[in-house]
Amino acid sequence: MNLGLDGRVAIVCGASKGMGFASAKALALDGAKVLMIARDPSALEDAALTIASVGGVVEAYSGDVSNPELAEVAVDRCNALWGPVDILINNAGGPPMGSFLEHDSNAWDASIQANLLSVVRFCKAVAPDMKANKWGRIISITSTVAKEPSPAMVLSATTRAGVSAFSKTLAIELAQFNISVNVICPGGVLTDRLVGLLKARAEREKREYQELLQESLASIPAKRFAEPEEIADVILFLASDRGGYINGVSLSVDGALTKAYS
C-alpha cells in the first residue's frame, strides 16, 4: 500500500513491539523516516534493525514517555536528522488492572503521566512546525475502554477518555492548518499487553488463563483478535493525504466488539 508518505518525518512512541512496532514498520515501508521511541533500549534496537533490514529508514531513541522532557528532545532529534515532524503516533503501555479503591495516588499519577500528559506534551512539541508547514497528522492509540469503561480498568478508561477529549479539542483548533488529530481505539489485539492483562485477570479471579482467552475470543463478534498490522493499516491511511478529512474522531477498530455506534 503506497499512500504517498515518501519523505515524511514521523515519531512513533512505544515502537519496540506490538501496535507501535507494526505502525513504525508500515510508515517506514511507505517511505516515511521514523524515529522509534521505547523504554527498553535492547528491544528497541532489535526492532529498528528489523525494519532497516527490509529497507525502512529508522532511528532508535530510548526514552520513557512519562519523562516531561522527552517530547522536546525527540522533536529536536528529528529536526537534526531529517527536519520537522509531519506525523506523530502516540502510544504507551496501559496501566495495571484494578478497581477505583485498589489504586493509590502513585498509580493514578503514573497513569496520567504515561497515558494522558505524554500525549499533551508530544502534541505541543510537534504542533508549531505542523502549523507552519500547513500539514500534520497526529494519531493516538488508546483502547475501547475509553468508550465502554470497565471498573477493573479504571486507570486506563479514565486516561484514555481524556485523550479522546483532548484530541477532539485539538482537531477543532488545528483543522484549518491541514492537521488532523485522531484516536484509534483497538479492542482485543494479539500483543504482549493483551496476554499480560488476561493472565492478571486469571490470577485475580482464580481462573485458568486458557479459559479466559477463549471467553475473550467468544465475546468478539468477529471471533478473533486483531493482528497489530491491522491497526497499523488504519493508522497508515489516517497518516496519508487520502485520510486527511477524517478529523477529531475516536475510531473503534475492534471487530464490532464495542456496542456504541459513535
Output the pLDDT for position 1.
59
Distance CA 198, CA 192 (A): 10
Query: How far is C-alpha 118 from the geometric centre of its chain's CA atoms?
Result: 11
Collect all residues with Cβ–Cβ distance below 8 Å to 12 and sequence separation of at least 6: 20, 23, 24, 27, 34, 35, 36, 37, 89, 91
Question: What separation, in Å, do the N-terminal and C-terminal C-alpha atoms of the chain show?
Answer: 28
Report DSSP letters for 6-25, one per residue. Answer: TT-EEEEESTTSHHHHHHHH
Query: Is this structure's pTM higher than 0.85?
Result: yes
Model confidence pLDDT, tens digit, residues 246-258:
999 999 999 999 9
CA dihedral 154, 157, 159, 162 (to 10 degrees): -140
Interval 18-65: pLDDT, tens: 999 999 999 999 999 999 999 999 999 999 999 999 999 999 999 999
Q: How many CB atoms lie within 10 A of CB 64?
A: 14
pLDDT, tens digit only, all 262 positions of the chain: 578 899 999 999 999 999 999 999 999 999 999 999 999 999 999 999 999 999 999 999 999 999 999 999 999 999 999 999 999 999 998 899 999 999 999 999 999 999 999 999 999 999 999 999 999 999 999 999 999 999 999 999 999 999 999 999 999 999 999 999 999 999 989 888 888 888 888 888 899 989 988 999 999 999 999 999 999 999 999 999 999 999 999 999 999 999 988 7
Give the CA-trace dihedral at 260, 166, 110, 200, to 10 degrees. Answer: 10
Distance CA 80, CA 178 (A): 24
Dihedral class, residue 131 (left if φ above 0, else alpha if ψ from -120 to 50, else beta): alpha
